[in-house]
Structure 1
């Protein structure tokens, strides 16, 4: 049976996304734990974020995705400027995806993570959240993409720089 919430298998999906890296004072970054709906036996850790909707800026998408995915509300000016951009290619739900990503770092203290606002497909493919030091994540080999540990390092450095300024 085909899941009607996913594009037809083989469809190449090109998307522009906003990714947000919440950083605690101890240098740990919030990530989500989940899997491809066609490969639930191979979970991984990935960054918070999602697609930029028509008429929305990348920053607006990041501010929207935080409460949708993890229940964190922030004022738009708290994201600051992007800390990184990249483009990755991967497969998810049977579709090749070419994703242009813009990453924002945001300093947080104690936050209550909630999955209450996630869409049904997210609830079915995201099992947990976790706070990670970049080196610890890298050592597990469980990052969704090889670039994630370095992106976490950039986010931690940016937040420390902002706080020292």
Structure 2
């Protein structure tokens, strides 16, 4: 009896020490992330100031200079929620500046400001990655060791060095995406990674680039069929409901993306739809409740998708709200409940 008591005390002590050490590490990681954001915020602010100086040094009444000045001022005043969009816009404007016509000292200062943004962004995103990695550990989630600390977010902007490299101007990429809902009003998301950053993973909706001569609705239906095996008619799509503008890098290439989101709600259908009928796991078992689940067929994936998409699953609004995973669009966890409970009013909403 005494032996069992001693063992129990030792186990409790070890568990207590582990919990304390883990909570302490989490606290340090959150402090590190906050400090990294403060440094990135300062670097971005300095870049905006230098951008205004560049605008002032160009030809008076130049339309490009006026636009650069306006974008820089927006970047300085933008709230955190809108920061990525305006900072990306500033990167694009600075990439168009003819630096050979700037005073040498100002050109050097601009280069220094941009390089500091690159370094600060990488340090920040590394800190976010480490913090999210710790928060996603099962014991940490089960015991809620992160407490009330807000979940850190990556800061996704094109690095100035990429935007300014000759021949590396962001490639325009319009895309059509689909919020695919099943009978339980869950949304289908794929999980993937960038070949150049295999340790960075995120969840994203069905969809992809619009091909030459293709309209948005046709592109959405084609991408849906290719990525899930589900074939719908044009009238089955609602929208586009959302529009998302994002500049991003993938596999070493920079893109200026404009994403249009449609809704495809399968909740009113019997036993799935088209070639997508069947069991979600592909084992023919259904869901155990007498209903046929929707089987996702990814045999239509391209080579790139096969190499970069690591899986898929259905997400409820509740799961999205509490997940520590990275999800795009960022506002999906807050906007999905509205999509589920209300009818689209015909307004295209800008999201991030």
TM-score by length of 1: 0.82
Given that residues 176 and 260 in structure 2 are in contact (C-alpha distance below 8 angstroms), is that contact kept between their aligned partners in structure 1? yes
Partner of 1:131: 314
Change (3 A) 1:152 1:90: farther
Identify which of 14, 20, 23 aligns with 2:178. 20
What pairs with 1:3-152 in structure 2 (closer than 5 Å)? 10-109=168-267, 110-138=293-321, 139-152=323-336
How many Å apart are 1:72 and its aligned residue? 1.1
How many Å apart are 1:152 and its aligned residue? 3.3
Count of aligned pairs between the two proteins: 152
Higher relative contact order (CA 8 A, sep 6+): 1
Q: Which runs of 5+ in 1 are unaligned?
A: 1-8
SS in 2 for 1:101: strand
State the distance in 1 between where 2:210 and 2:194 align: 20
Task: From the two aligned structures, give the one with the greater strand fraction.
Answer: 1
How many Å apart are 1:95 and its aligned residue? 2.0
State the distance in 1 between where 2:335 and 2:257 align: 16
Q: Which entry has the higher C-alpha Rg, 1 or 2? A: 2
Task: From the two aligned structures, give the one with the greater helix fraction.
Answer: 2
Alignment RMSD: 2.1
Q: Deviations over 1:88-133 (max 9, x none)?
A: 1222112222211110011114321011011111001001111112
Q: Deviations over 1:132-154 (max 9, x none)?
A: 12342243232144233345345
Change (3 A) 1:151 1:17: farther
State the distance in 2 between where 1:67 and 1:41 align: 29
TM-score by length of 2: 0.40
How many Å apart are 1:66 and its aligned residue? 0.6
Given that residues 178 and 207 in structure 2 are in contact (C-alpha distance below 8 angstroms), is that contact kept between their aligned partners in structure 1? yes
SS in 2 for 1:53: coil
Q: Which runs of 5+ in 2 are unaligned?
A: 1-166, 268-292, 345-352
How many Å apart are 1:86 and its aligned residue? 1.8
